[in-house]
C-alpha cells in the first residue's frame, strides 16, 4: 500500500530482487507452531518486515532503513517499534525535519486516528523549533514563524476533515500550551463553535483557552465569568437541548466563579425560559433543569445551614420533575440525586 506524498518507494520491485538490498539476509517471522490471531499478510508486507527485522536487529542507521521504516509504517501504522526506530533514524541521519513533517502529514490523511503519528510529529516540532527558543519572542512573532504557522494549519485541516478528532485537539492543546499561543485560541474556538454548536470538543477547548493552563482552583474575575455566561447563553438560545454549552458554563462556574451561578447564569436562563419563544424548548430540555439543581445546591452552600431548606427543597422538586417528566431515561439517577441533594 502506498500513500500519496509518502514517497519512500524508489524501486517498486521486491526487495529480494534489488541490488541495494543484496547484502541483507531477511529475518523470517517465527510465529511458532500454534499462533494466536495470525494475520494473512500480503507477500509485500511479509517481505518488507523480514528486511526491517534484519536492519533493526543490526541497529543499522541508513537512508534505506529510513525508507523501509516508512513503507512498513504506511502498511502498519501501529508498529510502535518501527516508529521508535524511525525517530532515531531521522536524528542519526540528520534528515530534513520539514520533509519528515510532510511525510507525517501525508500519512495522517490516511490514518488520522493513529496515536503514534501525532507523538512523532510532536517530537519533530520540538526539535525543529525548541519551545525555549520560541518563548524568547513575543506571541505575534511566534505566530508568524513558519514552523508554528504550518503546525496550526496542519491541525486546522485535520479538524476540517473531522471536527471531533480527539488526537488533533490533543495535539493542538500541546502546541498552544507549549508555545504559549493563548491569545489566538479563543478566536479559533469561536470559529469551530459557530461551525457546529454541538461540537463538544470545541466547547472543551474553550475551557482550555479560558483557563490558559491555570490550576483547577483558580478563581476567574467577575467580568470574565459574566462574559462566558453571556457567550454560553447565546449559544443555548440557538439550540437549548445541547449538552455542551450547559456542561461548559455550569462546570466552569462551579470551579472558577461559583457565585456567578446565581448572580449571572440563573437570571439569564430564567429569562429565556420565561420568553414565550423559548419556553417550550427550555422547559423540555433536561439540561436546563439539571443546571437549576446545580445552581440551587451551590447557592445553598453559600448560606448558613438554617437558611438552606427552601433552596434544597426546590432542588429536590426539580429532581422529581426530571425523574417523572423531563428526563425519564435517567429517572433512577434523578431519584438517587434527590436523596443526595444538600449532602455535599
Partner 1 sequence: MAAELAINAHARYFKHCLTMLPAETTSLDATRMTIAQLCLVGLATLGRLEDTLPEKRRAEMVEWIYAQQIPNGRGGYGGFRGGSLFGPHDRCEYEPANSGNLAATYSALCSLLLLGDDLSRVDKQAVVGAIRSLQQESGTFAPHPGTTERDPRFIYCACAISTILGDWSGVDKDAATRYIVGCCNYDGGLTQMAFQESHGGHLYCCIAGLSLMGRLDALPSRQRTLQWALFRQSGGYQGRANKAPDVCYSFWVGASIEILGGHDLVDSSTVVHFIQQCESTIGGLSKWPGYLPDPLHAALGIVGFSFHRPEQFPHISPELLLPAS
Residues within window 322-341 making contact with partner 1, judged by CB under 8 A:
329-333, 336-337, 340
**Beta-carbon contacts of residue 157 (< 8 Å; ≥ 6 apart):** none
Please identify every residue annotated as catalytic. 113
Diameter over CA atoms, the chain: 88
Only one of the segments 54-62, 134-142, 230-238, 316-324 lies at the binding site for partner 1 (rule: CB under 8 A); that segment is 54-62
Decide if residue 207 touches partner 1 (CB under 8 A): yes
| 145: DSSP letter | S
Among the listed ranges 5-13, 39-47, 257-265, 272-280, the one in contact with partner 1 (CB under 8 A) is 39-47
> What is the spatial distance between Cα 266 and Cα 263, in angstroms, rounded to a whole number?
7
Q: Are 261 and 300 within 8 A, CB to CB?
A: no
Q: How far is the CB of 233 from partner 1 (least distance, A)?
A: 17
Taking contact as CB under 8 A, which single stretch among the options 23-31, 92-100, 223-231, 308-316 is the one that binds partner 1? 23-31
Q: Is 184 in the site for partner 1 (CB under 8 A)?
A: no
CA angle, 91 then 173 then 190, to 5° = 140
| Contact by Cβ (8 Å): 6, 74 | yes
Quote the CA–CA distance of 317 and 313 in Å, as a whole number. Answer: 6
**What is the separation of C-alpha 288 from the centre of its chain, rounded to a whole number of angstroms?**
27
Cα–Cα distance, 253 to 47 (Å, whole number): 58
163 close to 208: Cβ distance less than 8 angstroms: no
* Minimum CB distance to partner 1 smaller for 96 or for 196: 196
Q: Which of residues 246-275 bind partner 1 (CB under 8 A)?
A: 247-248, 251-252, 254-255
- Enumerate residues 290-329 that contact partner 1 by CB under 8 A: 329
Per CB under 8 A, which of residues 56..85 are in contact with partner 1? 56-59, 75-81, 83-85
Query: Of 91-120, which residues contact partner 1 (CB under 8 A)?
Result: 111, 115-116, 119
- Distance from the Cα of residue 81 to its chain's centroid: 24
Shortest distance in whole angstroms from residue 41 CB to partner 1: 6
Cβ-contact 120, 174 below 8 angstroms: no
Choose one: 40-48, 89-97, 139-147, 268-276; the region binding partner 1 (CB under 8 A): 40-48
Q: Count the neighbouring beta carbons within 10 Å of the beta carbon of residue 186.
A: 15
Of the residues 94, 133, 187, 216, which one makes contact with partner 1 according to CB under 8 A? 216
Cα-flanking dihedrals φ and ψ of residue 217, to 5°? -90, -5
Contact flag: residue 88 with partner 1 (CB under 8 A): yes
Q: Please, what is the minimum distance in Å from the beta carbon of residue 333 to partner 1?
A: 5
- CB 117, CB 111: distance < 8 Å: yes
Q: Which is nearer to partner 1, 252 or 269 (CB)?
A: 252
Binding positions for partner 1, 156-175, rule CB under 8 A: 164, 166, 169-170, 173
Site for partner 1 in 115-154 (CB under 8 A): 115-116, 119, 122-123
> According to CB under 8 A, which one of 4, 17, 37, 133 is a site residue for partner 1?
37
Amino acid at each position: 500500500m502506498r500513500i500519496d506524498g509518502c514517497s519512500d518507494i524508489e524501486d517498486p520491485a521486491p526487495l529480494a530482487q534489488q541490488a541495494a538490498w543484496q547484502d541483507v539476509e531477511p529475518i523470517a517471522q517465527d510465529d511458532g507452531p500454534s499462533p494466536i490471531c495470525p494475520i494473512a499478510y500480503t507477500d509485500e508486507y511479509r517481505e518488507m518486515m523480514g528486511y526491517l527485522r534484519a536492519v533493526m536487529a543490526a541497529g543499522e542507521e541508513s537512508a534505506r532503513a529510513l525508507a523501509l521504516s516508512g513503507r512498513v509504517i504506511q502498511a502498519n501504522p501501529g508498529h510502535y517499534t518501527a516508529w521508535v526506530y524511525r525517530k532515531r533514524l531521522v536524528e542519526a541521519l540528520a534528515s530534513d525535519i520539514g520533509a519528515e513533517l510532510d511525510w507525517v502529514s501525508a500519512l495522517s490523511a490516511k490514518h488520522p486516528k493513529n496515536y503514534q503519528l501525532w507523538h512523532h510529529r510532536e517530537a519533530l516540532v520540538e526539535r525543529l523549533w525548541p519551545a525555549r527558543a520560541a518563548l524568547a519572542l513575543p506571541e505575534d512573532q511566534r505566530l508568524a514563524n513558519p514552523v508554528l504557522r504550518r503546525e496550526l494549519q496542519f491541525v486546522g485541516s485535520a479538524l476540517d476533515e473531522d471536527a471531533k478528532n480527539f488526537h488533533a485537539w490533543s495535539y493542538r492543546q500541546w502546541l498552544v500550551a507549549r508555545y504559549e499561543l493563548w491569545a489566538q485560541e479563543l478566536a479559533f474556538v469561536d470559529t469551530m463553535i459557530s461551525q457546529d454548536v454541538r461540537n463538544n470538543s470545541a466547547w472543551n477547548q474553550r475551557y482550555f483557552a479560558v483557563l490558559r493552563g491555570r490550576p483547577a482552583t483558580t478563581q476567574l474575575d467577575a467580568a470574565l465569568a459574566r462574559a462566558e455566561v453571556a457567550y454560553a447563553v447565546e449559544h443555548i438560545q440557538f439550540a437549548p437541548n445541547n449538552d455542551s454549552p450547559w456542561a461548559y458554563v455550569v462546570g466552569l462556574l462551579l470551579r472558577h466563579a461559583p457565585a456567578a451561578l446565581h448572580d449571572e447564569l440563573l437570571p439569564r436562563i430564567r429569562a429565556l425560559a420565561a420568553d414565550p419563544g423559548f419556553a417550550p424548548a427550555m422547559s423540555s430540555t433536561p439540561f436546563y433543569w439539571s443546571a437549576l439543581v446545580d445552581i440551587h445546591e451551590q447557592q445553598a452552600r453559600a448560606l448558613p445551614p438554617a437558611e438552606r431548606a427552601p433552596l434544597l427543597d426546590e432542588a429536590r422538586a426539580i429532581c422529581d420533575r426530571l425523574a417523572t417528566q423531563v428526563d425519564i431515561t435517567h429517572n433512577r439517577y434523578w431519584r438517587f440525586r434527590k436523596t443526595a441533594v444538600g449532602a455535599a
